[in-house]
Structure 1
């Protein structure tokens, strides 16, 4: 299976080796789209997809995602970026990035004892539906070791206690740095990440919260939901910030429940929602479909 996925990944990369994705956010004003389009045209690029959104058209923010093809992209990318910074980005005060679609983002998945979110990501990766490389899995428990290593993915057991938390995070940071990780996924990792850790990966740590935020933050949300007699439960994928469960929301989903469902029923239903919501969020992130502005996201999906 791994060999088949690897071959499929190479074919995918070869087919899009000259394709790039540009993400831009900037204060809204006339002429932005024309300037970007003209720049790409003058450099020989062909736009294949463009999505845009204006937040508060009167004095608000403008967001755009553009996919384009450019012959010999890898050789010409540095020059393209330097020219764009000077000719277009500075004029419109842009926050921007250009990424090669053939370069897969490298993920580190953090997990504790519950396996459902991890297994969903592994399955999508095996099927070729998650366009990323899973560089490693890190866990504060050894339970997932055999599953992960059977797929040829490095597994690192880093125990965490109240006394060893700082040392554990230092170990984790070294592992992800050495692994050239682009994004960290908390797949039901039941530890609070410190602000010092977060500052190394701003808007690059994705968490799945097992409730429909902002309701039922913190621990035991299904017990909280049961006590309130809710009729809809859900899950929320969001970027991690210093505010507990308060980061920019990427994706949410819900399912209707009834008075007949007990806490265990809610957990079972919730696990299904969690795995789907997290996988969507991770997929959109690695495909460069998300722009963050303040504590909100614009998702071009």
Structure 2
């Protein structure tokens, strides 16, 4: 993001609240913001049941000299609605003027990678791209043309990827707030997912759960599908089973070739992934079990 765009978020924050629903949460949060001289810019909330449900809320607030009063607001949140209070809520308060630090992992296919870098350069993604890590070098020059550091970490042959994963972890540790797999064609180990310590978002080249695995467009063609799609989801230890952030489809016909499906599918992948990255960076996505709540206001 440009300095001009960041300045538009000066003294603004996002507050995300999640936990057991009960009367009084909205009033308590609103009163807390008012106590610190804050003004609610936008608010979106959702409860998944009329009673004994889960409550989800995203608030954008403006507080004069926010960075100075942020510690006091955090303390008040914990004492007022936090885990040890009668509300027992989880919460996160983030400065909107500080973009989340992103690392992108990629392989040979570059359509999602370059689309993210292009959107980032245009100011469409509220992130700071720290690096691109790839197991191939084909995109190195393109990535560096955006002024982004490029790291080549070759993948090991065979099932044991521990050495290459250890190198990637060494590069990422302490430098990023989340990771995006932009068609990174390697399966991450449970140990890597545990050690990386930040959310990991993947773009899957089909509308999950259909056509999981290799060659989805060939499988789709063989089945004579009328829709193809893409799915962006958080990565968990269960392959392609993580909480879904965004999905989309495009209509196809019997006349489309496999190449047509791949081309049109790549367009959907780019759009779905960019939306997922943007929403995560804007604190719009709340994970609840194995699904997500995406608050758009």
Q: CA deviation at 1:91?
A: 2.6
Judge conservation of contact 1:203–1:240 (CA < 8 Å) in 2.
no
1:172 matches 2:168: yes
Residue 242 of structure 1: how far off its partner (Å): 0.8
SS in structure 2 at match of 1:92: coil
Q: State whether structure 2 residue 295 is matched by structure 1 residue 264.
A: no
Partner residue of 1:69 out of 54, 62, 73: 62
Equivalent residue in structure 2 for 1:56, among 46, 49, 59: 49
The 2-side partners of 1:151 and 1:161 are apart by 28
In the TM superposition, residue 228 of structure 1 has moved relative to its aligned partner by: 1.1
Contact 1:138–1:158 (Cα < 8 Å) also in 2: yes
The residue correspondences of 1:213-232 to structure 2 (distance < 5 A) are 213-232=208-227
Taking a change above 3 Å as real, the CA distance of residues 59 and 52 of structure 1, as seen in their structure-2 partners, is same
Count residues with an aligned counterpart.
293
Q: After TM superposition, where is structure 1 displaced by more than 6 Å over at least 4 residues in a row?
A: none
Q: Deviations over 1:276-295 (max 9, x none)?
A: 10000001001111000001
Q: Which moved more, 1:52-61 or 1:194-203?
A: 194-203
The separation in 2 between residues aligned to 1:200 and 1:87, in whole angstroms, is 32
- Considering only aligned residues, what root-mean-square deviation do their CA atoms show, in Å? 1.2
Give the structure-2-normalised TM-score. Answer: 0.96
Alignment of 1:1-301 (within 5 A): 9-89=2-82, 90-162=85-157, 165-178=161-174, 180-201=175-196, 204-301=199-296
Q: Is the 8 A contact 1:203 1:239 kept in 2?
A: no
Can you give the 5+ residue segments of structure 2 that lack an aligned partner in the other structure? none
Q: CA deviation at 1:57?
A: 2.2
Distance 1:159 1:248 in 2: 29
